[in-house]
Structure 1
Amino acid sequence: MWVVYSLLSAISCAVMTVLAKINTERTDSRLLIAFVVTIEMLVSWTVVLFSGLPVTLAGLSKRNIMLIIADGIMAGVSGVFFFRAMQFGPVSKVIMVDKSNLVFSLIMASLLFHEPVLAKSLIGSIFVVIGIVIFST
């Protein structure tokens, strides 16, 4: 099931990228990200409320809450940088560099979660970096 969600996320991200580029042609990226995040928050809460999940922080530890805050900050920072890049750069180049997060995520997964670095992951990461260099120059 995770593959289906991953593909739906990728498709959604592609549509969001195109919409971001169109919007940054007429709206400053800093204002745009504020509106986008507000709408994203409304969509997220709508999903939670319609799922029937209890809306409570009671089961969360201090560590959970701190990680949620850190995650929210990083998502916001990422969005600001992404929309700013979209305002000034071509979609084809911005999205390639943005997808270098794959390499960074693999490194962090190895360091933080002790996930093994498989030969195919290493080779794939090298190809991603080569692709980024080729497409972004």
Structure 2
Amino acid sequence: MWWIYALLSAFFASLTAIFAKIGVKDVNSDLATAIRTIVILFVAWGIALARGEVKGMAELSKNTWIFLGLSGLATGLSWIFYYKALQMGKVSQVAPVDKLSVALTIILSVIFLKETVSLKAALGAGLIICGTLVLIF
């Protein structure tokens, strides 16, 4: 079942790139990111409230707050740089290079989370890195 959500994520991420490229045409990329963030804020909180999932906030540990905060900071920085790249480059180049994050995540999961990576996953990460280099150079 996880793969259905992952495919939906990929589909909506591709729409994000297309809509964002059109949206940043006549606006500063930082302002575009701020607008996008407001929309996401309402959608995410709307879902959490509608499903009654905000009750658990009081029970979150300090560690959870710190790492969710860091994740939010990293997300925000990623979006700022992504929108700037979209504003300056072709979506057909920017979006695939942005997906280098997949290979970087595999590498960082080994370093920081001590996850083991299969040969297939390592090969896939290597191919993503090679493909990214082809797109850049």
Question: Same fold by TM (over 0.5)?
Answer: yes
The 5-angstrom pairing of residues 8-27 of structure 1 reads: 8-27=8-27
Q: What does residue 83 of structure 2 align with?
A: 83
Gaps of 5+ in 2: none
Q: Which residue of 2 aligns with 1:32?
A: 32
* In 2, Cα distance between equivalents of 1:96 and 1:12: 14
Deviations 1:52-81 (A, max 9, x none): 224352111111111111111111111101
Judging by fraction of residues, say which structure has more helix.
2
RMSD: 1.2
Q: Distance in 1 between matches of 2:56 and 2:80?
A: 29
2-side partners of 1:79 and 1:94: how far apart?
12
Per the normalisation by structure 1, the TM-score is: 0.94
CA displacement, residues 17-65 of structure 1 (integer Å, 9 cap, x when unaligned): 0011001111111100001001101000011011122435211111111
Aligned length: 137
- In structure 2, the partner of 1:55 is 55
The change in CA–CA distance for 1:50 and 1:132 in structure 2 (over 3 A counts) is same
- % of aligned pairs identical? 29
* Secondary structure of the corresponding residue to residue 58 of structure 1: helix
Moved over 3 A (4+): none
TM-score by length of 2: 0.94
In 1, the alpha carbon distance for the partners of 2:93 and 2:54 equals 42
